[in-house]
Amino acid sequence: VAVTAGTPPHPAAPAHRRRDAQNTRDRLVRAAVELFTTRGYHGTTTPEIARKAGIAEGTIYRHFSSKEQLLNELYRAALKLLEGAIQDAPPVNCRERLAAVARAWRAAAIRDPAPVRMAFFLRAEPILDARSRDAARRFREAVAGIIASGKAAGEVRAGSAELWADVWLGLVALVLDRTVSGDWPATHTAPEAVFDAAWEVIRDTARG
């Protein structure tokens, strides 16, 4: 699934037109994600985005009202995509759910690195708007929620669920970083090792 954030400008336009528009927007979005995640927000310029997308500079502003809004839309779309994996995880137990989420994210990173990059590796220069910061908070809460329920079930060690969520996310981010950078292709074994390790850190060792 691509990170085609927001709504297309004219949903009611005839199909062949919409196709083109969608193309334009798609290329714009892809180019923007690529650049934002590799050079940062301030390191990315609108001329660059337009050139890489093969569109005119002015066209950016037919789809997004500003560079800032462009970034924020992309960011939220990315988070939403990754949150899907959290909701889709089978509600068996904490360990299985986290494992399923981690694997789903890695699979997504292999299919299309863009949203993973947006969600995980956008250095938070203070550009995210209120809605985006909310979305980010909810995202971390979703992970913390899984861990909290694991704690309630005695699976997770003592300590703040938020803390263990960040620990777990930190290690998963490491895997995703190697994945999107191409260092760890689909067949590599290290990801499972690190995912296991991530669980080891936060599980209740006193128990099983």
Partner DNA sequence: AATGAATGAGGTTTCATTCAT
Partner DNA sequence: TATGAATGAAACCTCATTCAT
| Interface contacts to a second copy, rule CB under 8 A | 38-43, 121, 123, 125-127, 159-160, 163, 166-167, 170-171, 173-174, 190, 193-194, 197-198, 200-202, 205
Q: Which is nearer to DNA, 31 or 172 (CB)?
A: 31
From the list DNA, a second copy, none, pick the one residue 40 interacts with, judged by a Cβ distance below 5 to 8 Å according to partner type: a second copy
Strand segments (E) across the chain: none
Q: Could you give the C-alpha distances from 65 to 4, 58, 72, in angstroms and in order? A: 15, 11, 11
User: Residues 40, 126: contact at Cβ < 8 Å?
Assistant: no
Q: Least distance (Å) from a second copy to the CB of residue 204?
A: 12
Would you say how long the chain is, in residues?
A: 208
Pick from a second copy, DNA, none: which does 123 bind, CB < 5 to 8 A by kind? a second copy
Of residues 152 and 190, the one with the C-beta less far from a second copy: 190
> Which of 2, 4, 21, 162 contacts DNA by CB under 7 A?
21
Least CB distance to DNA at residue 71 (A) = 10
Among 45, 84, 153, 170, binds DNA (CB under 7 A): 45
Task: Answer whether 144's CB lies under 8 Å from 104's CB.
Answer: no
Q: Which of 173, 189, 170, 171 is nearest to 181 (CA)?
A: 173
**207 scored as a contact of DNA (CB under 7 A):** no
- Could you give the 3-state DSSP secondary structure of residue 156? strand
User: Would you give the binding string for DNA spanning residues 46-85, x where CB under 7 A is met?
Assistant: xxx------xxxxxxxxx-xxxx-----------------
Distances (CA, A) of 103 to 36, 80, 86, 193, 198: 25, 17, 11, 12, 13
